[in-house]
Amino acid sequence: MPSLVESADPARMPYLWLAAREQEALLGPNRRFATDLKKRVFRFEFHTAPGGHDWQQWNEQIPGLFASLKLHIAPQPAP
């Protein structure tokens, strides 16, 4: 069974924003996911920083997340 990265059409996927801390358990899987996305030419960015997985991490990442989304997601026309 193919993974979503293998079966999804990168041209039809939204921009992805990923972040992980260097001391969290999911850093390895997140790095592998980012590598798979890069191989298939998905539009994404991946950020790492020192520390563990906690609310401080989320709070620190929110401004960058919204700035990136503003740059990469086109506004939808009004109905």
Q: Per-residue pLDDT tens for 7-36?
A: 999 999 989 999 999 999 999 999 999 999
More confident residue, 35 or 73: 35
Tokens of 73: 């997601």
Buried b (16+ CB within 10 A) or exposed e, 47-72: beeeeeeeeebeeebeeeeeebeeee
Mean pLDDT of 47-59: 87
